[in-house]
Amino acid sequence: MFGLKSNKSKAWKKLEQEYKRMKKVEMRALFAADKKRAQKYTLHQNGLTLDYSKNCIDDKVMSALLGLAKERGVAQKIKDMFEGKEINFTENRSVLHIALRNRGKSQIFSDGKDVMPQIREVLNKMKNFSEAVRLGKFKGATGKKLTDIVNIGIGGSDLGPFMVCEALKKYWAKGIRCHFISNIDGTACAEVLGGLNPETTLFIVASKTFTTIETLTNAKTCRKWLIDSLGEHAVAKHFVALSTNKTEVKKFGINPENMFEFWDFVGGRYSVWSAIGLIVCIAVGFENFEKLLDGAFDMDEHFRKAAPESNMPLILALLGVWYNNFYNIHRYAVIPYDQYLQYLPSYLQQLDMESNGKSVDKENNFVKCATGPVLFGGAGTNVQHSFFQLLHQGTEPVPVDFVVPAISHNEIGEHHSILLSNVLAQGEALMKGKTIAEAAEELRKAGKSKKEVDALKKYKSFTGNRPSNTLLFKKIDPFALGQLIALYEHKVFVQGIIWNINSFDQMGVELGKQLALNILPELQGKVLNAKHDSSTMALIKEVKSLRR
């Protein structure tokens, strides 16, 4: 199934022809032939710059890619999303994370109902509560100010707020500290709780159904920790819920007035703009949270209105399709050159791989082309000394997105200038490479003998012609971060349209959970002789033996 070409549409066949023409073309030659190449393939949107000139493309390729987007009906699908159509077709739902950051006055409908009044109501509730915590008006059970905020969630209820809080750490209120518990591993709870004072700790339990096993297990452990110190009456003063299950929230001991709602038309990995962002509001203030929404709304408007050839998310998506489906490169890296953005690749892994890691299309057929690529990354310059060896001299190219703020929040000496010189050099090096002849000449100039030159010149050469995009902005602030996240959200959406899959369900995570529920009672000795494969049975037996 995988690796085969998609249905041979006219646009797809055109791109196959373009690939045959381009597969041996060097980017060096493209730059040499067109002095305005960088200018031609650079886009700007309200402080955000995308330079995509270092790709194996020319005007004919871009025309063919845009033709594919037109053939696949991308423009109509974008319109459908903004109009609240049920584009999540396996779950019969609208997809309206864009409504969460709608800063205009327009109505947005789902199931014939304008969702904006309820969204604004929850936002106002988030504003009032976050300000009350920050100002010390909402106090703990003993009357002390709540200074340590613990978000208990998993998946999108953890990765989004965690990444955003870390990215905006420079904006945290003085005296406020943020912590995150997601992993069911008891170590996650133990390490966070070990450094906290129950009297000054606020827990945010993020679970739409309030039944998520990882989240509720961790929440119950935190609840016991609090009760052991302050008594059961303290729960209502130290726990709030991000949920829709009022019955279970109340049963837990949380005051329903401190329950913040979000909706089925928002998937977990798209939910940081909702009540899931409550910890962000407390950390950076609601005004900065609104700026985050403003940045996302700016990108939404650009995505919705920009011409295809100037549309940043569309262009990024099409470049990904170009490499994934025609160059057969099924991986790519995102490298932020800013320490505050070190968790951006982890966030984007879920956004991209959970959204487009699918193998059945809209017509209920197995897809005939590769879909979601493997995404990895890390903060530059750290990763230059880990996996960049493979990027430069490995046998298979890896397209890269470099994410670069021109100004650091911490301009210490020459640090940021050196950092910037590194990221710009990496893009150039990946594109240009170094020929064997150039490597030989360099070795000769270094005084090496002919024998040494012949022995080393291939090792010192780089094939180059390795694609990258550079996303450049002034500084990591809430607005720029909002733009950046929304840009990647829409990129993933467009690729799902091209591949004719549903980017908004995540059924692939369910099977393992189901089997885990079967295995748990066996590990606990409550069930014997369950039917598994021989490997799983043997491992269950071995685990039980070791735990005894």
Asked whether the beta carbons of 140 and 228 are under 8 A apart, the reply is no
CA-based Rg of the chain, rounded to a whole angstrom?
A: 26
Torsion angle of the four alpha carbons 177, 183, 187, 192, in this order, in degrees rounded to the nearest 10: 10
Asked whether the beta carbons of 229 and 200 are under 8 A apart, the reply is no
For 71, 96, 192, 335, 445, the CA distances from 86, given in Å and listed in that order, are 21, 10, 40, 34, 65
To the query of whether residue 432 is one of the catalytic residues in this protein, the response is no
Enumerate helices (H) and strands (E) in the chain, giving the number of each: 24, 13
Asked whether the beta carbons of 391 and 431 are under 8 A apart, the reply is no
Could you tell me how many residues make up the chain? Answer: 548
Asked whether the beta carbons of 457 and 443 are under 8 A apart, the reply is yes
Which residue out of 24, 35, 105, 385 is catalytically annotated? Answer: 385
Query: How far apart (Å, rounded) are the C-alpha atoms in residues 268 and 506?
Result: 10
Torsion angle of the four alpha carbons 298, 304, 308, 314, in this order, in degrees rounded to the nearest 10: 70
Q: Residue 327 phi/psi, 5° resolution?
A: -90, -5
Tokens, residue 497 = 């349209």
To the query of whether residue 396 is one of the catalytic residues in this protein, the response is no
DSSP element (H, E) containing 392: helix 388-393
Q: Is the peptide bond before 217 cis (omega within 30 degrees of 0)?
A: no
To the query of whether residue 460 is one of the catalytic residues in this protein, the response is no
Which residue out of 199, 290, 354, 522 is catalytically annotated? Answer: 354
Q: In what order do the strands lie in the sheet with 374-377?
A: 42-45, 48-51, 468-473, 400-405, 331-336, 374-377
Asked whether the beta carbons of 240 and 203 are under 8 A apart, the reply is yes
Which residue is it, tokens 């800063």?
Answer: 103
Asked whether the beta carbons of 164 and 193 are under 8 A apart, the reply is no
DSSP element (H, E) containing 537: helix 534-547
Beta bridge pairs of residue 24 = none
Which residue out of 513, 541, 542, 544 is catalytically annotated? Answer: 513
Tokens, residue 122 = 């929850």
Tokens, residue 129 = 């509560």
Beta pairing class for 239-242 and 259-260: parallel
Q: Which residues are catalytic?
A: 354, 385, 513
